[in-house]
Chain A
Amino acid sequence: MSDTQHGQFDALAALYAMGALGEDERDAFETHLEVCVECVNEVKSLLPVTHGLTHGALPLEAPAALRARVLGEVTGVTPSPREAPAAALLDTRFGALEGSETFAHVVEPPRRGAGLLFWLTATLLVAAAGGGGWYVSELDRQTQGLRANMDAAMQLAKRAELELESVRSAAAEREAVLAIVTGSDVGQLELTGQPLAPRASARALWNAAADMVVLATGLPPLPAGDVYQLWFVLPDAPVSATLVKPGPRGDATVMLKVPDAVTLPTVMALTIEPAGGVDAPTGDVYLLGQPAE
């Protein structure tokens, strides 16, 4: 095997180990492997990586009903129940004891009804002591009622004020978005859903003043404690654009100022990250957009 011929296949060992060659390419490479020890060794050295990648997915708890379905249908035998792990066994044995009636009376929490009965009795005794005391007490009760009503009214007014502010803010945002989208100098980049979010998509639009709006749709719900983070993927390193929190239907509209260091168009990506965001992307990619070449 001459160096020239080996050179044609040198870069394919990694793709072969990944199973990423098309049928014809794979056949040709396997023919080459029969005569090239160097490529055989290269593939062998990469196999632990490609096999190890099967362990790269996060383990997940399967639905409990799946066990009986799988084991029953595969073996034709009704499966015995799963053995309880040690911790669960301890809970089963001792948890029930703690909640049993035998111990319930030992440490009994104070009952609200008992306290109320005490004060009602005391109030009646005070009332019986003199009519003037009862009158003062009744006035006090009415005053407290009025004060509670006033607090409720104030809260309603505050809520209405906040809603009005929210509507004003949304209207201003819509105007700003429209100004970018309908401008004569608008640039745009489509971001497409990746394997984890095949139905998601987004469009980034920007103007010459470096105002950008990103309209996303179809984003999957976020796990608790996570947030979506948008990135400008520059040749040197990704630069964070902004955090994105979609609404309940998976839609999001975000506005941002493009940093000076970023020259548009550039690759953009949306990843999932811990709440508060991170300095460099670490999570899975949900959206990816590349400028046309």
Chain B
Amino acid sequence: MAEGEPDALAAAYDRHIRAVYGLAMRVLQDQGDAEDVVQEVFSQAWTQAKQYDATRGSVVSWLLTITRSRAIDRLRSRRARPDSAPASGEVAVVELPDSALGAENEVLTAESAARLRSALSALPLLERVAIELAYFEGLTQTQVAERLEQPIGTVKTRIRTGLLTLREALNS
């Protein structure tokens, strides 16, 4: 794909479209918007293919990171009224902080992905909701607290406790 070979992009599309489309639908809940995001994701992957570093993670992780970012961007523009300023506390989509720390992404195996999904389902309801709002809607802790009508300290604790549980499940 980095060589500008259309067949390579087609192969990547065929291999990863279900994961990319599933994540776009998970965030946006709208088929038209999800299809537009898929288009943006593969367009970005095509133009930035030379920047992809295989040592930092798998292709699918790279595509999914772009998908989350583009989908949340679109979700926010859909939420914002055309004649209004961004909502209070709204910030640009926060890229997950791997590059800043020089941390290498671990390649997630199918088994560990399934273990993570299962652990997420098993979290106490309110921890799961807080994590999903932050992660799949790109809300900050303040916005999650507003959405759930809970004190910010409670939300902070729930997200942290939930993440630590997930980390334990992933490492087990």
Which A residues are within 8 Å of any B CB, using their own CB? Answer: 11, 14-23, 25-26, 30, 33, 40, 43-63, 66-67, 69-71, 73-75, 77, 79-80, 82-83, 194-196, 198, 231, 233, 238, 267, 269, 271, 281-283, 285, 288, 290, 292-293
Contacts and interface: CB of A to CB of B under 8 A. Distances in A.
Given A60-B25, A290-B149, A66 B35 contact: yes
Contacts of B144: 20
Contact of A48 (B39, B106, B159): B106
B59 interface: no
A269 B125 contact: yes
B46 A47 contact: no
Nearest to B140: A22
Contact of B156 (A11, A47, A56, A267): A11
Contact of B94 (A19, A69, A79, A292): A19
Given A51-B61, A74-B46, A195 B96 contact: no
Contacts of A60: 18, 21-22, 25
Interface string B87-114: 0010101111110110101101000110
Interface in B1-49: 6-7, 9-10, 13-14, 17-19, 21-23, 25-27, 29, 31, 35, 38-39, 42-43, 46
- A17, A53, A55: most-surrounded residue (chain B CB, <10 A): A53
Interface residues of B, number: 81
Contact of B166 (A30, A49, A67, A70): A49
B139 to A, nearest CB: 7
B80 interface: no
Contacts of A25: 140-141
Given A44-B101, A61-B18, A195-B29, A51 B134 contact: no
Given A59-B19, A66-B35, A77-B6, A46 B167 contact: yes
Contacts of A56: 113, 116-117, 120
Nearest to B57: A51
B96 A20 contact: no
B107 to A, nearest CB: 10
B10 to A, nearest CB: 5
B140 A20 contact: yes
Contacts of B121: 282-283
B163 A46 contact: yes
- B67, B149, B150: most-surrounded residue (chain A CB, <10 A): B149
A40 B38 contact: no
A79 B141 contact: no
B149 A71 contact: no
Given A67-B13, A195-B29, A47 B103 contact: yes
